[in-house]
Copies of this chain bind each other. A is one copy, B any other.
Amino acid sequence: METKIFRNFLGEKGLKPTKERIAVLSEVFSFHGHFDPEYLYLRIKDAGSKASRASVYRTLSLLVECGLVKKVTRTEKGNIYEHTYGHSHHDHMICDACGEIIEFYSEKLENLQDEICAENSFAGSTHTLEIRGHCKKCRTKQS
Protein backbone atom coordinates (compact mmCIF):
# COMPACT_ATOMS: atom_id res chain seq x y z
CA MET A 1 0.00 0.00 0.00
CA GLU A 2 2.70 2.46 0.91
CA THR A 3 4.42 1.34 -2.30
CA LYS A 4 1.37 2.35 -4.27
CA ILE A 5 1.28 5.76 -2.61
CA PHE A 6 4.94 6.31 -3.25
CA ARG A 7 4.71 5.22 -6.90
CA ASN A 8 1.78 7.56 -7.39
CA PHE A 9 3.67 10.40 -5.82
CA LEU A 10 6.69 9.75 -8.01
CA GLY A 11 4.56 9.49 -11.12
CA GLU A 12 2.93 12.83 -10.49
CA LYS A 13 6.33 14.44 -10.18
CA GLY A 14 7.77 12.78 -13.26
CA LEU A 15 10.17 10.78 -11.11
CA LYS A 16 10.99 7.14 -11.58
CA PRO A 17 10.43 4.25 -9.17
CA THR A 18 13.95 2.90 -9.30
CA LYS A 19 15.19 -0.16 -7.41
CA GLU A 20 17.10 2.08 -5.06
CA ARG A 21 14.07 4.16 -4.16
CA ILE A 22 11.94 1.08 -3.65
CA ALA A 23 14.66 -0.52 -1.56
CA VAL A 24 14.69 2.49 0.74
CA LEU A 25 10.92 2.52 0.94
CA SER A 26 10.73 -1.19 1.76
CA GLU A 27 13.36 -0.98 4.41
CA VAL A 28 11.70 1.99 6.05
CA PHE A 29 8.49 0.04 6.37
CA SER A 30 10.14 -3.24 7.32
CA PHE A 31 10.33 -2.33 10.97
CA HIS A 32 8.64 -0.08 13.47
CA GLY A 33 10.63 2.47 15.32
CA HIS A 34 12.84 5.48 15.02
CA PHE A 35 15.92 5.57 12.84
CA ASP A 36 18.60 7.81 11.42
CA PRO A 37 19.80 7.80 7.80
CA GLU A 38 23.00 5.93 8.55
CA TYR A 39 21.20 3.15 10.37
CA LEU A 40 18.80 2.83 7.46
CA TYR A 41 21.68 2.76 5.00
CA LEU A 42 23.29 -0.14 6.88
CA ARG A 43 20.02 -2.06 7.15
CA ILE A 44 19.50 -1.77 3.41
CA LYS A 45 22.94 -3.18 2.83
CA ASP A 46 22.28 -6.00 5.30
CA ALA A 47 19.03 -6.76 3.53
CA GLY A 48 21.03 -7.43 0.39
CA SER A 49 19.75 -4.43 -1.53
CA LYS A 50 21.94 -1.56 -2.54
CA ALA A 51 21.55 2.17 -2.37
CA SER A 52 24.27 4.69 -1.72
CA ARG A 53 24.16 7.01 1.21
CA ALA A 54 23.33 9.80 -1.22
CA SER A 55 20.31 7.88 -2.48
CA VAL A 56 19.18 7.11 1.02
CA TYR A 57 19.24 10.79 1.91
CA ARG A 58 17.59 11.78 -1.34
CA THR A 59 14.85 9.18 -1.05
CA LEU A 60 14.21 9.99 2.58
CA SER A 61 13.46 13.56 1.54
CA LEU A 62 10.98 12.32 -1.02
CA LEU A 63 9.29 10.08 1.52
CA VAL A 64 8.91 12.97 3.89
CA GLU A 65 7.59 15.15 1.09
CA CYS A 66 4.90 12.66 0.22
CA GLY A 67 3.92 12.18 3.83
CA LEU A 68 4.87 8.54 4.35
CA VAL A 69 7.71 9.42 6.68
CA LYS A 70 8.20 12.10 9.27
CA LYS A 71 11.21 13.77 10.78
CA VAL A 72 10.79 13.05 14.48
CA THR A 73 13.52 15.21 15.91
CA ARG A 74 16.97 16.55 15.28
CA THR A 75 19.64 15.44 17.70
CA GLU A 76 23.23 16.53 18.07
CA LYS A 77 24.14 13.66 15.79
CA GLY A 78 21.59 14.09 13.04
CA ASN A 79 17.97 13.65 12.11
CA ILE A 80 15.68 10.96 13.44
CA TYR A 81 12.83 9.65 11.32
CA GLU A 82 9.91 7.28 11.61
CA HIS A 83 7.40 6.01 9.09
CA THR A 84 3.96 7.41 9.65
CA TYR A 85 1.78 5.60 7.16
CA GLY A 86 -0.27 3.06 9.06
CA HIS A 87 0.42 4.77 12.34
CA SER A 88 -1.71 7.41 13.89
CA HIS A 89 -0.24 10.69 15.02
CA HIS A 90 1.48 10.76 18.37
CA ASP A 91 3.96 12.80 20.35
CA HIS A 92 7.01 11.84 22.36
CA MET A 93 8.38 11.82 25.86
CA ILE A 94 12.13 11.34 25.94
CA CYS A 95 14.07 10.22 28.99
CA ASP A 96 17.15 12.36 29.51
CA ALA A 97 18.82 9.54 31.44
CA CYS A 98 18.36 6.43 29.33
CA GLY A 99 17.03 7.86 26.07
CA GLU A 100 13.85 5.83 26.13
CA ILE A 101 11.13 7.25 23.92
CA ILE A 102 7.55 6.93 25.08
CA GLU A 103 4.88 7.60 22.49
CA PHE A 104 1.57 9.06 23.55
CA TYR A 105 -1.57 10.54 22.12
CA SER A 106 -4.25 12.72 23.63
CA GLU A 107 -7.37 13.78 21.81
CA LYS A 108 -7.83 16.58 24.32
CA LEU A 109 -4.36 17.86 23.65
CA GLU A 110 -4.93 17.90 19.92
CA ASN A 111 -8.20 19.77 20.25
CA LEU A 112 -6.68 22.28 22.59
CA GLN A 113 -3.95 23.00 20.08
CA ASP A 114 -6.53 23.54 17.37
CA GLU A 115 -8.27 26.04 19.60
CA ILE A 116 -5.05 27.88 20.26
CA CYS A 117 -4.26 28.05 16.55
CA ALA A 118 -7.69 29.47 15.87
CA GLU A 119 -7.20 32.11 18.54
CA ASN A 120 -4.05 33.19 16.74
CA SER A 121 -5.49 33.04 13.22
CA PHE A 122 -2.87 30.44 12.49
CA ALA A 123 -3.50 27.55 10.10
CA GLY A 124 -1.61 24.79 11.85
CA SER A 125 -0.74 21.79 9.74
CA THR A 126 1.66 19.82 11.89
CA HIS A 127 3.19 19.99 15.31
CA THR A 128 5.88 18.40 17.38
CA LEU A 129 5.58 18.05 21.11
CA GLU A 130 8.56 16.67 22.89
CA ILE A 131 8.48 16.29 26.65
CA ARG A 132 11.82 15.70 28.29
CA GLY A 133 12.43 14.36 31.76
CA HIS A 134 12.93 11.00 33.45
CA CYS A 135 11.10 7.77 32.84
CA LYS A 136 9.71 5.63 35.63
CA LYS A 137 12.73 3.34 35.63
CA CYS A 138 15.29 6.12 35.82
CA ARG A 139 13.25 7.95 38.38
CA THR A 140 13.36 5.08 40.87
CA LYS A 141 16.98 4.32 40.06
CA GLN A 142 17.90 7.81 41.24
CA SER A 143 16.92 7.22 44.84
Which residues from chain A sit less than 8 Å from chain B, CB to CB?
Answer: 74, 93, 95-96, 102, 104, 106, 108-109, 112-113, 116-117, 119-136, 139
Q: Which residues of B contact A106 (CB under 8 A)?
A: 112, 116
Q: Which residues of B contact A122 (CB under 8 A)?
A: 93, 95, 102, 131, 133-136
Contact partner, A125, options B124, B126, B133, Cβ 8 Å: B133
Copies in the complex: 2
A93 to B124, Cβ gap below 8 A? yes
B117 to A112, Cβ gap below 8 A? no
How far does the Cβ of A23 sit from chain B's closest Cβ, in whole Å? 26
Tell me whether A128 and B130 are in contact in the complex, defined as CB-CB below 8 angstroms, given that A109-B116, A116-B109 are known contacts: yes
Give Cα A136 to B120, complex, Å.
8
